[in-house]
Amino acid sequence: MSNILTLTQEIQALIKYIEINKRGDLDWFTIKPTNKEGTHWQGKCWYIHELVKYEFNFQFDIPATYPTTAPEIELPELDGKTAKMYRGGKICLTIHFKPLWAKN
């Protein structure tokens, strides 16, 4: 029951975040669950740099130990293109990568 409540709260927060971004013309991603349990998610994210829009597919699985363990976001198209990624385009968000995020 607790996991269902947590998932419901997370989805409500995500919906609100997307609504706020759309109202302010600040949206930068779309997302949807791809299974009925809500454990696998896919979407698109985009970034505009020097008037060029870069768009990428992303996906992640909600770990069984969520929310203690954060999901690993995967951008398969960027696999191996930056030091901030590992294992199939997953973005490393742990503290040991903080120096890389700070300087790049």
Catalytic residue of the set 42, 66, 92, 97: 92
Q: Is 45 marked active-site?
A: no
* C-alpha–C-alpha distance, residues 67 and 7, integer Å: 9
* C-alpha–C-alpha distance, residues 33 and 39, integer Å: 7
Q: Which is nearest to 33 in space by CA: 88, 90, 71?
A: 71
Give me the active site residues, please: 92
